[in-house]
Amino acid sequence: MINRDPLPDYHKGMHLQGFSPYQILEASRRTNRKKMKEKSTLEKEIFRFVNSMMTIAVNEAMKDIFEDWR
């Protein structure tokens, strides 16, 4: 059975604190997953912002284009 006790975030001095190699590896994996999730959330927010700004810009450009034809 794998022990799922709370591990701290990975840091370079874990071996000096008595953590086993497996615990250090598991802490590293958890920390990397957490960073990727945060990055993924940030990327989604940036995409939403850019998408909304582009929509506004395209709509304004379309108004300008068709305004000349009227």
Q: How far, in Å, CA of 27 to CA of 55, rounded?
A: 42
Q: What is the C-alpha end-to-end distance of the chain, expressed in Å?
A: 75
The model's pTM: 0.53
Q: How far is CA 51 from the centre of its chain?
A: 18
pLDDT exceeds 90 at position 70: no
pLDDT tens digits along 3-55: 556 888 898 899 899 999 999 999 999 999 888 888 888 888 999 999 999 99
